[in-house]
Structure 1
Amino acid sequence: MNRLLDDMLTADEKDAIDRVLGGRNPRFDLLVELSGLDPSKDFRDSDLRYLNFCGADLRGYDFSHSDLRHCIRNENTKIDDSTKFEGALIEWIEVEAVPIVLQMQGVESAPGSEQRRELLRRMISEFGRTQHIVTYLVSAATRAKKFDDFLDFADYLPSALNEDQRKSLRETALRLLAKRVSRSKSRTRREKTAIFATDSIVNRLRSSGGSLSEVIYSNLAAVINSKNETLALKDMAFVEPQDLEAAIRLL
């Protein structure tokens, strides 16, 4: 065991880890029993994404306010009225969809944009834009920390989305754009330099096709045309942050 962890853990905690690591059956509820955790309280307010609940007996578990998105279950997973999900985020994955989940995990752990986009391309090429995958892409986009990361997912989202999905994406894009513009201004302390914050965004939108990004680009063209500065997006120097913001609001 790592020396730092060894110093931080109690003897009971070390014993619990050893019991779990030595367990022969990977079934979730059996591992919980080995660990000594209490199903009625130790899984509240927890990030439990991507856990495998196949065959597990989840009766009596309290998952209140926990994140259970992309958790795997099958016909032998036992859930009844004693299983609590109050306030939990739930997106069950049936065991048949496990290959997709594994690819999603790869996307989540990708070290950079290029690798992430390649994994997304492969996933959609293999499985298509199913409802499950679109739901995942929306969720991942709304969790993005930077606008470029948001576009990685927007480039693969279909243009046809429901209003709730569009609202979530719209709010995220506006927040990330404001963050990017603010950072650009703070670097030079000049208002006009904020325009450079949008240059790379517009270039990416221009090269998108058949996706949500293309919708944003089309909206941007409409915004620019309405300003009578150009009839087509030929001179991108005229695109200001507020133009991009207006285009996003049209989603």
Structure 2
Amino acid sequence: LDLTYNRLPRCSHCSSKKVRKKSSYERKVHHELIGHRRTILRFKAYKLFCNECGRYGNQQFPGIAKYQRSTERLQVQIFHHHTSGISQKELSLQFKQGKATIERWYHRRYQIEGNELLNTPCPKVLGLDEHFFSRKHGFATTLCDLKKHKVFDIVKGRREVDLNHYLNSLKGKDRVQVVCMDLSNTYRSLVKKHFPNAKIVADRFHVIRLVQHQCMMTYRELSSSIKNNRGLLALLRTKPDKLTSHKKIKRDTFLAENP
């Protein structure tokens, strides 16, 4: 595509408009796909002399980073394709770019989005939960934005020693109004320390699990044989509307024998 840029050029060093054109040259920049077709933008650029700072420089354009021969939109497109699981080999064939170039673009875009995430303020309704990955990596703590139903961040570790450094550098902690989490004492102390204005709300899943655990303990106190009767335990955990008539009779018989 042959293009023309009609805005006034600026100095690449001080952004001044008081520049003088020294010479022109042709630039070819790779752009994102239009349908399934590759796009190359061709336009005229200038070598400039700045009357303000007295330095030379080449004309810069919005959407094209310095020293790059591709637009930001193309790099973002490749980043999302690679993140979704398309291999470097397939992307290299589709976009006619080297594997090393795709790798470099991916790391560059990953760093940019990572820096944007670091500057993102903490959500007002925050969810905390722990997840076990493997014996090598151990546990990780997941922070979720419960209003947008999105993962906000993942931090390695679940102990206070592991999370203190991250939480100390977290921005916007004062704006957090609600923290939804399990009944862990570690998380409770962390929330009171780092989110002073937030109310602690117990996670529904963990509350139900705790109630079920107490019910199972009560059933075992009523009948010592129920521990080995997994079928009966499953009946007691199942919702009444999902039980067949035969299973309801079996459940009612147990409850009648153990009032």
User: Greater helix share, 1 or 2?
Assistant: 1
| TM-score computed with the length of structure 1 as normaliser | 0.29
User: Greater strand share, 1 or 2?
Assistant: 2
Over alpha carbons, which structure has the higher Rg?
A: 2
